[in-house]
Amino acid sequence: QGCTQKYIVKNYFYYYLFRFSAALGEEIFYITFLPFTYWNIDHSVSRRMIIVWSIVMYIGQVSKDILKWPRPLSPPVVKLEMRTNAEYGMPSTHAMAATAISFSFFTATMNQYKYPFELGLVAAFVFSTLVCLSRLYTGMHTVLDVIGGALISAVLLVLLYPAWDMIDHLLLTSPFCPLFSIVVPLVLCYNYPKLDYYSPTRGDTTTILGAAAGATVGFWLNNQYNQTAPVYASESFQLGFPLITTKVVVVLARFFVGILVVLLTRWLMKNAVLGVLGYRYKFPIRDLEARRRLEVEVPYKFVTYSSVGFTATVIVPLLHELLGLE
């Protein structure tokens, strides 16, 4: 499984299109797009996307390790990725995440913002389709894996949609929200299905639930202090270049300041938590085998990414306000 294959790229357009599309279902996309919506679009839209994303991804990851369906055989398939090769295949969590994020974004915004319904629907469909096709192109999933993932995600969206407002209200107002948001994900992570060999699914699931837990606590805390969604100025003026407006500059400034703080938080917390756990369990920080142990992996990833989620929803908006970027 760890062998890399030699291959010749015959169509660079498809190659780069689907390699890029595959990245839309990975951490680099989650850690940029989800905070971007919170900082620059709408708090309520971001809250719904994060809750749906975390629920869908947890169910998808657990389903993989319960069903234990293998990934496509290689050969004949050429696999362009190796990190996720140790995971099982059914369902495709890339397909689940892409479907959940694109259609939850579309559903949450279609009644709040003025844009053609057909355009939003097509955009959501194209986004999820590109990610699904990328999993076939990269050789990581079968057609059944991808269809199964997209269908499961669609069913979960339909089931969750009627409860969106109720869940959102409880997460913002219930005094038990912080405790619930931390304890329940931790219990789920520590009781994750066990496999005969190490798979990154538990670590990835802990990362997702940790980020959602930290963000949810941040949502609750912001609501206690009545922080509202970003309000954009209706006026804009030219800044040297005719096509660059004040709004665009502020949006980009929010994004880059926020991402810098988020990445710094992740780096600091990762090293701090690993240092504490390394001291507690007597292993060097760079010992990958030790970091895969349950008693190390779960607290390390949960604390690190819950800090990231909290920073993105509380610390970064406060910094935006301090810098005059609100």
Measured distance CA(252)–CA(246) in Å, rounded: 10
If one compares 49 and 242, the residue with the highest pLDDT of the two is 49
Coil, helix or strand for 271? helix
Q: How far is CA 308 from CA 60, 83, 163, 224, 268, in A?
A: 23, 23, 27, 20, 10
Task: Exactly one of 43, 141, 169, 320 is catalytic; name it.
Answer: 141
Q: How many residues does the chain have?
A: 326
Least Cα distance to 305 among 50, 37, 56 occurs for 50
Least Cα distance to 269 among 309, 318, 326, 236 occurs for 309
pLDDT value of residue 232 = 40
- Model pLDDT for residues 60-104, shown as the tens digit of each residue: 999 988 888 888 776 677 777 766 666 778 898 888 999 999 999
Measured distance CA(31)–CA(51) in Å, rounded: 15
φ/ψ of 37, rounded to 5, equals: -65, -35
Mean pLDDT for 293-311 is 92
Measured distance CA(307)–CA(283) in Å, rounded: 23
If one compares 25 and 51, the residue with the highest pLDDT of the two is 51
State percent of the chain over pLDDT 90.
33
Residue 235 has pLDDT above 50, yes or no: no
In DSSP terms, 59 is beta-bridged to: none
pLDDT-based confidence at 216, cuts 50/70/90?
A: very high
pLDDT value of residue 261 = 94
Q: How far is CA 310 from CA 70, 89, 141, 241, 300, in A?
A: 36, 32, 33, 36, 16
pLDDT value of residue 244 = 57
Task: Exactly one of 43, 94, 169, 320 is catalytic; name it.
Answer: 94
State percent of the chain over pLDDT 70.
90
* Active site (annotated) includes residue 169: no
Burial code of 56-79, b = ≥16 C-beta within 10 A, e = fewer? bbbbbbbbbbeeebebbeeeebeb
pLDDT value of residue 55 = 92
pLDDT value of residue 4 = 55
Mean pLDDT for 201-210 is 90
- Model pLDDT for residues 139-168, shown as the tens digit of each residue: 888 889 899 999 999 999 999 888 888 888
Break the chain into its structural domains and give their ranges.
1-161, 163-229+238-325
- Model pLDDT for residues 39-63, shown as the tens digit of each residue: 888 888 889 899 999 999 999 999 9
Mean pLDDT of the chain: 84
**Amino acid type, 177:** C
Q: Which residue has the tokens 């390699």?
A: 19
- Model pLDDT for residues 256-267, shown as the tens digit of each residue: 999 999 999 999
pLDDT value of residue 114 = 80
Residue 230 has pLDDT above 70, yes or no: no
Tokens read off for 300: 């390390």
CB 312 within 8 A of CB 258: yes
Measured distance CA(83)–CA(201) in Å, rounded: 11
Coil, helix or strand for 174? coil
pLDDT-based confidence at 285, cuts 50/70/90?
A: confident
In DSSP terms, 238 is beta-bridged to: 245
Residue 24 has pLDDT above 60, yes or no: yes
